[in-house]
Structure 1
Amino acid sequence: MSGRVKRQPMLMKRIRKEYKQGKLIIGITGTHQNVGVTHLGLMLATYLSEWLGHRTAYIEVGDKQPSSSDISSLKSYFYGGEEESMEEDSYTVHRVTFYPQKDSKNLVDIMNDRYQCLILDFGSDWKNINEFLRCDIKIVVSSLAAWKKHKFMNFLTVSKEIKTSDSWIYAIPFAAEKQIKAAGREFGRSMYGVPYEPDPFLLSQNMIHFFRKFI
């Protein structure tokens, strides 16, 4: 997205205040499958660890089978299926510690560890909504494509019962800035266009600028 933010909304000021006082917990969910939750989460992890120098944990929340777990697949990619590495509960890549397939019962111990930032990847699974609501920053990834916009609208209908849902951050990949601004006005939500970034571990200046808007 182009242009500068002239003033910080009160939400962003509150987030930065919480961040300075202790560890920051960021939850990312999606309005439907394959919308880009994990890709955005990996870029955020790169930003927090490589650019800001923070000790970061990435937690895949849920009980997926290894074959359907993106974070387990990422481990196989980097470690090449090494038996000793594959048996470990977590692994570290680019100074980020990854925890595949953790249910809500396993989160406490990880959160009590000495991480400065924790990213919780909820995918599109809504059954862990209570954990999502406890996060300091809540990001929803969606699409404004004509054939997928109804999924975004369905999500708004379901989540409107939650009082704080109008303060969540909505991240929209592959959409024109004009379209995003129009949707933000239409639905009364804070919406941001996600710059195209093919490699989540190698960020462009556009991506850095994107994250600086709310972290």
Structure 2
Amino acid sequence: MNRIIICSSERDECDFLKEELEDFGKVVKVVESLDFFISQWESSTSINTIVFSEYVVKNNSSFEKLIKQVKATSPEVQMLFLHFREIDGFMQSLSDLEIICISYIDLTPGMILTKLQTESRKQAAQDIPVFIKEETIDNIDENSGDTFLYTRNEQEPKNQVHMPEQMVSRVEEEPEILDDNQENTNSSEKILKSMILKGKELRKVLEIKKSHSDIRIEDLNFDPLLQKRKKFRDRFIGTIIIAITGVEKGVGCTHTSLLIANYLAKQKFSVALVEANESNEYKEIESSYEGVDSDLLISSSFYINGVHFYKNQKNIDVIPLLSGEYAYIVLDLGNYVETESYNEFLRANIQIVVGSSRDWKQHKIDEFIDSQIHLDQSNWRICLPLSDKQDVKDLKKKLSRRQLYTVPYFPDPFDSSEAIEDFMEKMLKINQQHRLSLLRKKMLNVFQ
């Protein structure tokens, strides 16, 4: 039984698709938007088919990235795209990726089922292995006593058989005899199918036997397993990386980063705050703190109240920082379009997006989300500095499944207050993070 995901924001369309596909498989999930698709798809097991509606596509290039990512990890999954646009470059690229594209104008009841079943049969035919390259079949014509060689060219399609010239000429000369002996033809087809099945079984036995006899431990590659375990330890037990990026310039990334870093330092954690952008504001912060002209400051880093500031790290390398015994590394990435270290945001343990809740700027958050639909967004935390209560309320309705946090008004990020501490604990869940870290460390020691 096939397992199907439907990606559509239209309830009527979902009901129609469920009825259309009830004979093809089981609809296991309906996804209303693509922003959480990756996490939902990865959490669903044994998915065979994904049906996309054009209503959920907000950004063509990001949608193509999503398709390629699914194809790369699960090439066997069938994907169908329902559209109302004309055939253009985007549609052609989907066709090149072997996506089944059906126009709403051409759509008729039963068409989706027919298309999917046809593609399934094609896939099944392509999966039949070629195990006979040459086979001698004796006594094809008992009267003549001729012997023919049954061959197939590896470059030919798997459902075509290369016939010898003698047999081709005989077919051309005696078409009526072939028509009269349809029963014999069917019998030959059954024999051939039986031979294919037997050969397939024999091939499996030989492969199993070979796999048991040829395996050498020294030839095995354990790197992926070791890397996965190392990542697990770094993520929950070692240094925690917090990355802050903004949906546009000037939304308050640096102010939010300073609030976070200083809060962590006040909690007695060792903290590194990295200016992973080209704004060069940290130089001015040092100048203000030291009371000297910024042109006289040539150091690459400085300390304020227990926070180690790293200035103007355009293309940040986090690895040296991980060896610096920091409990937290805070990356101030700035505008996501301009930073050269956006990949560090994707790898961070805590991912924070700074935007504005003002109704005329909310579209910037939408654009950021739509441009990243090919990524897992389930851990994103959206911060809204200097927000109006009504604007936040409206935005929460619009982004009901998002983690939205209203940053309290606090002009001095180096100071502290009860409101800021409550906000930070609510957003970062520091105490909960370290409870989890201790628990994982305890369990890891038990298993070791």
Q: TM-score range by the shorter chain?
A: 0.7 to 0.9
Aligned equivalents of 2:294 and 2:349: distance in 1?
A: 36
Query: 2:354 touches 2:383 (CA, 8 Å); kept in 1?
Result: yes
Q: Deviations over 1:164-211 (max 9, x none)?
A: 213200001122445434423422311010000010011211111001
CA displacement 1:70-121 (0-9 Å, x = unmatched): 1111111112337998222210001100001113353321222111111000
Residue 273 of structure 2 corresponds to 58
**Secondary structure of the corresponding residue to residue 384 of structure 2:** strand
Amino acid at match of 2:341: N
Distance 2:293 2:335 in 1: 30
Residues 287 and 294, structure 2, Cα contact 8 Å, conserved in 1: no
Q: Equivalent residue of 1:121, what SS?
A: strand
Deviates more, 1:113-122 or 1:85-94: 85-94
Q: Is the Cα–Cα contact under 8 Å of residues 351 and 380 in structure 2 kept in the other structure?
A: yes
How is 1:1-215 mapped onto 2 (pairs within 5 angstroms)?
Answer: 21-50=237-266, 52-62=267-277, 64=278, 68-81=279-292, 86-126=297-337, 127-162=340-375, 164-187=376-399, 188-213=401-426, 214-215=428-429
Q: Distance in 2 between matches of 1:100 and 1:156?
A: 29
Q: Distance in 1 between matches of 2:422 and 2:321?
A: 29
| Aligned-CA RMSD value | 2.3
Closer, same or farther in 2 for the Cα pair 1:35/1:89, shift >3 Å? Answer: same
Instruction: Decide whether the 8 Å contact of 1:181 with 1:191 is kept in 2.
Output: no
Q: Report the AA paired with residue 165 of structure 1.
A: Q
Identity of matched residues, %? 30
* AA matched with 2:321: I
In 2, distance between residues paired with 1:190 and 1:105?
A: 27
Q: Which secondary structure does the structure 2 equivalent of 1:101 belong to?
A: coil
- AA of the residue aligned to 2:366: M
Cα–Cα, structure 1 residues 21 and 178, in superposed 2: closer, same or farther, change >3 Å?
farther
My pick for the range that moved more, 35-44 or 186-195, is 186-195
- Larger CA deviation: 19-28 vs 32-41: 19-28
- Residue number in structure 2 paired with 1:14: none
Change (3 A) 1:18 1:181: farther
Mapped partners of 1:180, 1:27: distance in 2: 23
Unmatched tracts of structure 1, length 5 or more: 1-16
Deviations 1:23-67 (Å, cap 9, x if unpaired)? 2110000001110110011011111001x10010000113x2xxx
Give 4+ residue runs of structure 1 displaced > 4 Å after superposition: 17-20, 82-85
**How many Å apart are 1:140 and its aligned residue?**
0.4
CA 1:105/1:27 → structure 2, altered by over 3 Å: closer, same or farther?
Answer: closer
RCO higher in 1 or 2 (8 Å CA, sep ≥ 6)? 1
Taking the aligned partners of 2:294 and 2:393, their CA distance within structure 1 comes to 49
Q: Which moved more, 1:93-102 or 1:19-28?
A: 19-28
What secondary structure is seen at the aligned counterpart in 2 of 1:199? coil
Q: For the Cα contact (< 8 Å) 2:353–2:383, is it kept in 1?
A: yes
TM-score by length of 2: 0.40
**What is the distance in 1 between the residues matched to 2:275 and 2:392?**
28
Q: Which amino acid aligns with 1:168?
A: W
Q: Give the 3 Å change call, closer, same or farther, for CA 108–84 of structure 1 in structure 2.
A: farther
For the residue of structure 2 that corresponds to 1:45, the secondary structure is helix
Structure with larger Rg = 2
| Distance of 2:303 and 2:363 partners within structure 1 | 38
Distance 1:182 1:41 in 2: 26
Gaps of 5+ in 2: 1-232, 430-448
Say if 1:105 and 1:177 are closer, same or farther in 2 by CA, change over 3 A: closer
Deviation at 1:19, TM superposition (A): 7.2
- Inter-CA distance 106–129: structure 2 relative to 1 (3 Å threshold): closer
